[in-house]
Amino acid sequence: MPAAAHSASAPHESPVTQGTFRRAVVVGGNRIPFARTGGAYTKSSNQDMLTAALDGLIARFGLQEERIGEVAAGAVLKHSRDFNLTREAVLGSALSAETPAYDLQQACATGLETVLGLANKIKLGQIDSAIAGGVDSASDAPIAVSEGLREVLLDLNRAKSLPERLKVLSRLRPKDLAPDAPNTGEPRTGLSMGEHQALTTAQWKISREAQDEIAFNSHHNLAAAYERGFFDDLVTPYRGLSRDSNLRPDTSMEKLATLKPVFGKSLGAEATMTAGNSTPLTDGASTVLLGTEEWADARGLPKLAVVVDGEAAAVDFVHGKDGLLMAPAFAVPRLLARNGLSFEDIDFFEIHEAFAGTVLSTLAAWEDEEFGRTRLGLDGAFGKIDRAKLNVNGSSLAAGHPFAATGGRIVASLAKMLHDNGPVDGRPARGLISICAAGGQGVVAILEAYSAPEGR
């Protein structure tokens, strides 16, 4: 349909009619505790951690030797030797070796995108079960050799004689020997993610106090959830850790206020982003078990929630049109419109806390008349969310954020919250997930508590 591809699709033209597809159900999830980089998982590879998260999931749901329809996972910081990371993890796990797997990578949205992609395959009838996941290690990150050394090494390999080899080697300069460590810098702007967000935070005039409050709530909500036993069937300990090592249950607004800004220092007095209201580099892995209702029923497995729909968006941050991490501000209105929903219809908001400033800038954009009119094409502001429904069991500021593992963490936790919550006004509880990602991207999704279809 080349013609249609250029026209903006209005909601009523959407070919998506939910009822005609099978439902993709979230059965449950498992993750290992997230560890601050350089901590408990320093010696663990992505494959180690993903395998551990898978094995915990298999143990929780009795999936030993089970042939799962497909497993998809990924990592943002990936060694070239990990070209088949997910399949290798499956082979090292207790699953049937006949379980196929593929790697996926969409920066910090990797985890959520694996859930959406696999859920779509389930809905279409291509597979009956799936495991989505993600892993990242900033401790065991790949280090690339410099471009100069790389060229020399490749030429050396091609050189045929000893004199030729010596000639190639003579091109080496000391600076070529410095390794190229990975960073979160944007290739097109050279700015780090934090510096980008600092600009956005300032643009939306987000106060330091408001950001610290988001961080404070994140730590206290996550700590309370652990105390309540909420994570007893979501997390399996790993390497001596049984809770996220970044969690500070006793943090206070006063303590957060003492921290010095680390991003946007060039803004002077307006610098508001500290190590307390920004997520630290973290190592960890997460998994989510998906299936059809029949697949779950046949195994006596829980049916926590249904993956309703998802949407991706991207912004032109390169030319400064929007902030680097603002894509969800566009994705969410499109997703809700397509599903005929507004903020009033959402009972849980899971907005990934890359930085407290990201969450607040996104909320500010939705509450802004001008943004609503000029950027979203609406009559006014998109809407305001009830803060009491935001990240009620904590989010990335407290748990940490091993890039590709965050989506799985959120999906599994939200599915459990929706299930535990019970119906709202006679309809199943509903949750919204919003995840920003490098490259100016964002992926968002709607989950709904599972309820048996009419007549069953």
Partner 1 sequence: MTDKYTQFVSHGIGKDLAKKLGLPQPAVLRRYKAGEPLVPGPVLVLGSGNGRTAGSDELAAALVGWGLDVRRSALPKEKLGAIILVLDAVEHPEELAGPVLTAAPSLRDLAPGARVVTISRTSASAANPAVAAGRQGVDGLLRSLAKELRAGATANGVLLGDGAGTTSPSTLGALRFFLSGRAAFVDGQFLTVTSGAGQLPADADKPLAGKVAVVTGAARGIGAAIARTLHRDGARLVVVDIPAAGDHLAAVANEVHGTALQLDITSEDAGKRIIDHAVERHGGLDIVIHNAGITRDKLLANMDEGRWNSVIGVNIASQLRINEALLGSDQLNKTPRIVSVASTSGIAGNRGQTNYAASKGGVIGMVRATAPLLAERGGSINAVAPGFIETDMTARIPFATREVARRLNSLQQGGLPGDVAEAIAFLASDAAAGITGEVLRVCGQNLVGA
Q: How far is the CB of 45 from partner 1 (least distance, A)?
A: 17
**From the CA atom positions of the chain, what is the Rg in Å?**
23
* Neighbour tally for 81: CB within 10 Å: 11
- Annotated catalytic, 108? yes
- Give me the residue label for tokens 């609406």: 378
Q: Which is nearer to partner 1, 236 or 278 (CB)?
A: 236
- Region binding partner 1 by CB under 8 A among candidate stretches 49-57, 365-373, 390-398, 430-438: 49-57
186 binds partner 1 (CB under 8 A): no
Q: Which is nearer to partner 1, 25 or 437 (CB)?
A: 25
Residues between 267 and 306 with contacts to partner 1, criterion CB under 8 A: 299-302
Cα–Cα distance between 337 and 370 in angstroms, integer? 19
Q: Which two tokens stand for residue 354?
A: 């890359």
DSSP letters, 80-133, are: GGGTTHHHHHHHHSSS-TT--EEE--BTBTHHHHHHHHHHHHHHHTS-SEEEEE
Per the residue annotation, which of 196, 219, 220, 436 is the catalytic one?
436
Asked if 60 interacts with partner 1 (CB under 8 A), we say: yes
Q: Is 58 in the site for partner 1 (CB under 8 A)?
A: yes
Within 115-134, which residues bind partner 1 (CB under 8 A)? none
Choose the binding region for partner 1 from 60-68, 179-187, 206-214, 362-370 (rule: CB under 8 A). Answer: 60-68
Is 401 an active-site residue? yes
Distance, in Å, from the CA atom of 445 to the CA atom of 414, rounded to the nearest integer, reads 11
Please identify which residue in 15, 174, 229, 422 interacts with partner 1, judged by CB under 8 A.
229
Any contact of residue 236 with partner 1 (CB under 8 A)?
yes
Could you say whether residue 61 binds partner 1 (CB under 8 A)? yes
Q: Which is nearer to partner 1, 299 or 338 (CB)?
A: 299
**155, 233, 345, 367: residue in contact with partner 1 (rule CB under 8 A):** 233
| String of DSSP letters for 345-411 | G-SEEEE--SBHHHHHHHHHHHH-HHIIIIIT-SSS------GGGBSTT--HHHH---GGGHHHHHH
The yes-or-no answer on residue 12 being catalytic is no
Using alpha carbons, list the distances in angstroms from residue 358 to 211, 323, 336, 365, 435.
Answer: 9, 9, 20, 11, 10
Contacting positions for partner 1 (CB under 8 A): 52, 55-56, 58-62, 64-65, 94, 229, 231-233, 235-238, 242, 299-302
* Catalytic residue set: 108, 401, 436
